[in-house]
Amino acid sequence: MDNLRLKALAVLKRFYGYSNFYPYQYEAIECVMNGRDAMVLMPTGGGKSLCFQIPALLSEGCTIVVSPLLALMKDQVDALQANGIPAAAINSSQSEAFNREIIDQVFAKRIKLLYISPERLLTEIESWSAAMKISLIAIDEAHCISQWGHDFRPEYMRLSMLKKQFPDVPVMALTATADRLTRNDIVRQLNIPDARIFITSFDRKNISLQVIKNLSGKDKLHELTRFIDRHKGESGIIYCLSRKNAEKMAEKLNKIGYNSAAFHAGMPTAEKERVQQAFLNDDIPIICATIAFGMGINKSNVRWVVHSNMPKNMECYYQEIGRAGRDGMPAEALMFYSFGDVATLMNFARESGQSSVNIDKLRRMQQYAEASVCRRRILLSYFNERLECDCGNCDVCKNPPERIDGTVICQMALSAIARVNENEGVTTIIDILRGSQKTDIVAKGYNKLKTYGVGRNLTFAAWNSYLLQMLQLGIIDIAYDDGNHLKITEYGHDILHSMRTVQLSKFYYDNNRHKPEKEAPRLPVDIPLNQSLMSKLKELRYAIAKAHGVPPYIVFSDKVLDVIATQKPTTKAQFSTLYGVGERKTEMYWRQFTSLVASFLNSQDNEK
């Protein structure tokens, strides 16, 4: 192995306690160590930070990290310091005297990584150039430079001067946004045309995907609470469509004994900060949020994300589920989806400035929600990445739909639609099929139709599912511009007149289908024991975090606790070799953790 790789691996083990690099981390490190510019495109959790932190540790001088958000800076500085790496941030939330002190320390070569906002960097840098040895300039969240991106920040545009002022200092741009337009923009605006580009897969394998369709409000809450119950003591986010929904959801959950809080852009800043901090510190496990929540959150132990309604496009969906499982441990994403969501979102899309683009995006999202093939394949193909085989970690893969001859079912529905002259929406059609006594059904005389009640052997949810599939198959259409009425397509007419047959996925809503899927136990005998050890480890982590004033995941990630629970180290030597335990954390924590493990093992022996 070459010298640089050995040195990099040694630093990785010493400071972070990791033994191997993630894909392309080393290549990116090598690139800037050789003085070249680099662009790193990796998904959330892909390990971008190490790509500039390791070069910082291997080089003389200080690495400058440009970051757009205070919270992100603070998080990274906390994490670095916890690993014994001298890092600091300059920002407006600190006193000027403190900021100056940090700059003095940089000049005194006591800081290896300096985090700074773009506007601040631009005002400071004039005075630095000569006397400061800058080893690398890292531009985090580099998509902020692009007007095409979802998070444009004008201050970022002025960063183009960096390459002019420091032609010999390598620049590394990092982002989790990989689309070509944004990528080209970054290279152009930062003046790094020769940057080598490192792209990894955007597949987040550890996040399982699930969609539950068409539940009424009560059933939805029931499924949601069952889902949360499976994640006792774990942090998660519930995304809601509106501020009001977020508040209502939090209220509902708290009323039935959960500990949750709402978070949305309409709340006072102080309250938002309080809620976010409580979430980071594991004091409030459940956040009911609008999309405003998540930017600037690095919390690695978010174990689940729920979409209470379908999001408006795949980009949002991918970003939001991506907040779960950054530590690489299993995480779950659950989405609830209904016709009503589509109607609501369709209205938003139409009112937006770019309605045709937004409607197309909504359609793609809908196709994902209604998919009867591997969801991950659909998700990744949207981002132009092809998955060679089914993922095995989505609901479709786990419960492949059973196919049935759906011709008669379709004919019943089509005939009902025809008999109301294509002038009714989904709910009324189902009411007619099921022979509902609702007053407006009777008032309109629908109870006299020939199709009235022919479908009463199927539940409302079943009909909803079949109509959805008919829509997906192009048998019917929803006229969004005409009261959401159902229309029969040409293909539908063929089926109605028995010229074609149709296969449908069988609907079944029984408890089996939504039963918690059991993870394959790794060590069957140890599982219950490890779980009780795990919760003790979490308590210890929480106590340490409180004492040090940092979030628990900064002390150790869930993955490290899992390793401790499995390996059960009882000596300092054993503890020091564990995944995620570097030199600093060994010194800081070995006593507390090994004695906890030892007393746990003791109590187990006594029970025998």
Q: Which does 411 bind (CB under 5 to 8 A by kind): Zn ion, ligand ADP, none?
A: none
For residues 50 and 62, which CB has a smaller minimum distance to ligand ADP in the complex? 50
The answer to whether 28 touches 58, Cβ cutoff 8 Å, is no
Q: Which of residues 497-556 bind ligand ADP (CB under 6 A)?
A: none
> Which of 135, 146, 557, 586: binder of ligand ADP (CB under 6 A)?
557
Pull the structure tokens for residue 233. Answer: 């003591």
* CB-CB neighbours of 293 under 10 Å: 24
The H or E element containing residue 476 is strand 476-479
SS3 assignment, position 507: coil
Interaction pattern, residues 251-290, with ligand ADP; x per rule: CB under 6 A: ----------------------------------------
SS3 assignment, position 503: strand
Q: How far apart are CA 200 and CA 23, in angstroms?
A: 7
Binding of residue 21 to ligand ADP (CB under 6 A): yes
User: How many Å separate Cα 428 from the centre of its chain?
Assistant: 37
User: Smallest distance from the beta carbon of 66 to ligand ADP, in angstroms?
Assistant: 14
Q: How far apart are CA 294 and CA 318, in angstroms?
A: 12
The H or E element containing residue 275 is helix 269-280
Strand 38-41 and strand 503-505: the pairing is: unpaired
Segment near ligand ADP (CB under 6 A), from 15-23, 220-228, 258-266, 568-576?
15-23
> Which of 391, 417, 468, 540: binder of Zn ion (CB under 5 A)?
391
User: Smallest distance from the beta carbon of 398 to Zn ion, in angstroms?
Assistant: 8
Interaction pattern, residues 29-68, with ligand ADP; x per rule: CB under 6 A: -------------x-xxxxxxx------------------
Alpha helices in 151-216 (DSSP H): 154-157, 161-165, 180-189
User: Smallest distance from the beta carbon of 588 to ligand ADP, in angstroms?
Assistant: 17
Q: Is 310 exposed, middle or buried (0-12, 13-18, 19+ CB in 10 A)?
A: buried
Q: Which does 509 bind (CB under 5 to 8 A by kind): Zn ion, ligand ADP, none?
A: none
The answer to whether 317 touches 307, Cβ cutoff 8 Å, is yes
> Which of 38, 40, 134, 394: binder of Zn ion (CB under 5 A)?
394
Q: Is 328 exposed, middle or buried (0-12, 13-18, 19+ CB in 10 A)?
A: middle
Q: Which of residues 502-541 bind Zn ion (CB under 5 A)?
A: none
The answer to whether 95 touches 44, Cβ cutoff 8 Å, is no
Please identify which residue in the block is written with the tokens 């906390």.
78
Q: How far apart are CA 91 and CA 103, in angstroms?
A: 11
Strand 331-337 and strand 302-307: the pairing is: parallel
Q: Which does 276 bind (CB under 5 to 8 A by kind): Zn ion, ligand ADP, none?
A: none
Q: Which does 50 bind (CB under 5 to 8 A by kind): Zn ion, ligand ADP, none?
A: ligand ADP
The answer to whether 322 touches 304, Cβ cutoff 8 Å, is no
> Which of 376, 514, 541, 585: binder of Zn ion (CB under 5 A)?
376
Segment near ligand ADP (CB under 6 A), from 20-28, 224-232, 505-513, 582-590?
20-28
Interaction pattern, residues 320-359, with ligand ADP; x per rule: CB under 6 A: ------xx--------------------------------
Q: Which of residues 134-173 bind ligand ADP (CB under 6 A)?
A: none
Helices 3-11 and 25-33: angle between axes, nearest 10 degrees: 120
Q: What is the number of alpha carbons within 13 Å of residue 407 lying toward its C-beta?
A: 10
For residues 305 and 397, which CB has a smaller minimum distance to Zn ion in the complex? 397
User: Smallest distance from the beta carbon of 330 to Zn ion, in angstroms?
Assistant: 15
For residues 225 and 399, which CB has a smaller minimum distance to Zn ion in the complex? 399
- DSSP states of 76-121: HHHHHHHTT--EEEE-TTS-HHHHHHHHHHHHTT--SEEEE-HHHH
The H or E element containing residue 595 is helix 583-607
User: Smallest distance from the beta carbon of 21 to ligand ADP, in angstroms?
Assistant: 5
Segment near ligand ADP (CB under 6 A), from 19-27, 142-150, 160-168, 273-281?
19-27
User: Smallest distance from the beta carbon of 409 to ligand ADP, in angstroms?
Assistant: 46
Q: Which residues contact 104 (CB under 8 A, 6 or more apart)?
A: none
User: Smallest distance from the beta carbon of 475 to Zn ion, in angstroms?
Assistant: 26
Q: Which does 47 bind (CB under 5 to 8 A by kind): Zn ion, ligand ADP, none?
A: ligand ADP
For residues 344 and 472, which CB has a smaller minimum distance to Zn ion in the complex? 472
Binding of residue 303 to ligand ADP (CB under 6 A): no
For residues 156 and 553, which CB has a smaller minimum distance to ligand ADP in the complex? 553
For residues 231 and 559, which CB has a smaller minimum distance to ligand ADP in the complex? 559
For residues 19 and 604, which CB has a smaller minimum distance to ligand ADP in the complex? 19
- Apex CA 22: angle with CA 19 and CA 23, to 5°? 140
Binding of residue 430 to Zn ion (CB under 5 A): no
User: Smallest distance from the beta carbon of 320 to Zn ion, in angstroms?
Assistant: 19
Q: Say how many residues touch ligand ADP, by CB under 6 A.
A: 17
Which residues are at the interface with Zn ion (CB under 5 A)?
374, 376, 390-391, 394, 397
Q: Which residues bind ligand ADP (CB under 6 A)?
A: 18, 20-22, 25, 42, 44-50, 300, 326-327, 557
